[in-house]
Amino acid sequence: GNSVTQMEGPVTLSEEAFLTINCTYTATGYPSLFWYVQYPGEGLQLLLKATKADDKGSNKGFEATYRKETTSFHLEKGSVQVSDSAVYFCALRGAQKLVFGQGTRLTINP
């Protein structure tokens, strides 16, 4: 079945550092890929998405490129802020279901 694997956290960075959170997937067909963000005690918010190979999703300085050849969708940001501290989930959408990775907790120190 479909599955998503994220890099294990927690990840701790200093403000203005470069961020990469790795995400790889296993899926049949051509799934859509997503990154969601969750702040403490809240639901998930869609951060960005890509629906086909080589698409780049971007939002709020975050980017991720749908790489079919490496089955990856790594999240990147050039300069993180304290307000980016949250849990990030990679997800894929195949037939009917949305499948999530385990989440990566990110903490940004000032």
- Contact with other proteins (CB under 8 A) among 43, 69, 70, 110: 43
| Helix residue ranges per DSSP H, the chain | none
The DSSP bridge pattern shows strands 23-26 and 3-6 to be: antiparallel
Tell me how far CA of residue 62 lies from CA of 1, 26, 41, in angstroms.
28, 23, 22
> In angstroms, what is the minimal distance from the CB of 78 to other proteins?
24
Q: Does 96 interact with other proteins (rule: CB under 8 A)?
A: yes
Q: Report if residue 27 touches other proteins, rule: CB under 8 A.
A: no
Residue showing tokens 């790594």: 74
> How long is the chain?
110
Give the nearest distance from C-beta 87 to other proteins in angstroms. Answer: 9
User: Which residues sit at the interface with other proteins, rule CB under 8 A?
Assistant: 31-32, 34, 36, 41-46, 49, 51, 89, 93, 95-98, 100-103
